[in-house]
């Protein structure tokens, strides 16, 4: 894989009004609560916007099409997911591909389990897209990513492989931790893409080839 070329290809398609930027806006929203009180994500004042931010990001990335369960639901269906996110320990928001230890891999899978319990029947794709868009701590295990990375399921083996990939290519991955785009004016913010997001981009493009 030409890592540098894949990442440049992805970023060439990231425009303020294009679907790739939906990640930026969702990520910016949820990450902004780290500076205040994470639990208020599901407060009466914020819960509707929290659901809408997550829902539009998921729609942009293909989770509200075809036979998807979410296509038959309103944004209110995501309230239990927001409640899980709001209860997630602050230290979980710090995890990224550079620290996929066995303990941290277990913690990531534990969060995924809690999300699945919030709305039964969640696929690996949906759970990991949520975790990527909110925390930025794992890639989204969609068809393109799994094909590009040559992994089958979201589990310990795949996360170990991703962690090892980061260690082998850390210089390039860190160099492509670009700033997110601001929703209001489309200019770069002070918030950077996570390592897991950069890895997601690389293998997403690889899987499209």
Residues 125-144: tens digit of each pLDDT: 999 999 999 999 999 999 99
Res. 100 pLDDT band, cuts 50 70 90? very high
3-state SS assignment for residue 191: strand
- pTM for the model stands at 0.95
How far apart are the C-alpha atoms of 82 and 45, rounded to whole Å?
13
Nearest residue to 134 (alpha-carbon basis) of 18, 51, 48, 14: 51
CA dist., res. 104 & res. 191, Å (int): 23
Task: Tell me how far apart the alpha carbons of residues 181 and 21 are, in angstroms, rounded to a whole number.
Answer: 7
Examine the pLDDT at 115 and tell me if it is beyond 80: yes
pLDDT at 18: 93
- Looking up tokens 């930026």, which residue turns up? 24
Q: Please choose, from the candidates 69, 56, 70, 67, the residue with its C-alpha nearest in 3D space to the C-alpha of residue 25.
A: 56
Can you tell me the mean pLDDT for 79-91?
95
Identify the CA nearest to 61 among candidates 135, 141, 176: 141
The confidence band for 120, taking pLDDT boundaries of 50, 70 and 90, is: confident
pLDDT value at residue 9: 97
Q: How far is CA 179 from the centre of its chain?
A: 15
pLDDT of residue 67: 60
């Amino acid at each position: 894989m030409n890592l540098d070329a894949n990442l440049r290809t992805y970023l060439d398609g990231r425009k303020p009004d294009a679907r790739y930027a939906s990640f930026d806006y969702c990520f910016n929203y949820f990450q902004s609560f780290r500076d205040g009180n994470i639990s208020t994500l599901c407060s009466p004042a914020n819960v509707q916007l929290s659901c809408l931010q997550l829902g539009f990001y998921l729609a942009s990335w293909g989770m509200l099409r075809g036979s998807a369960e979410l296509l038959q639901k309103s944004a209110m269906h995501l309230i239990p997911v927001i409640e899980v996110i709001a209860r997630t320990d602050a230290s979980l928001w710090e995890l990224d591909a550079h620290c996929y230890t066995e303990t941290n891999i277990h913690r990531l899978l534990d969060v995924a389990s809690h999300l699945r319990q919030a709305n039964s029947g969640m696929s690996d794709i949906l759970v990991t897209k949520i975790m990527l868009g909110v925390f930025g701590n794992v890639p989204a295990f969609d068809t393109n990513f799994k094909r590009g990375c040559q992994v089958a399921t979201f589990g310990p083996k795949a996360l170990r492989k991703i962690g090892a990939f980061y260690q082998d290519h850390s210089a390039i991955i860190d160099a492509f931790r670009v700033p997110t785009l601001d929703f209001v004016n489309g200019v770069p913010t002070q918030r950077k893409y996570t390592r897991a997001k950069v890895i997601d981009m690389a293998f997403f493009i690889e899987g499209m080839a």
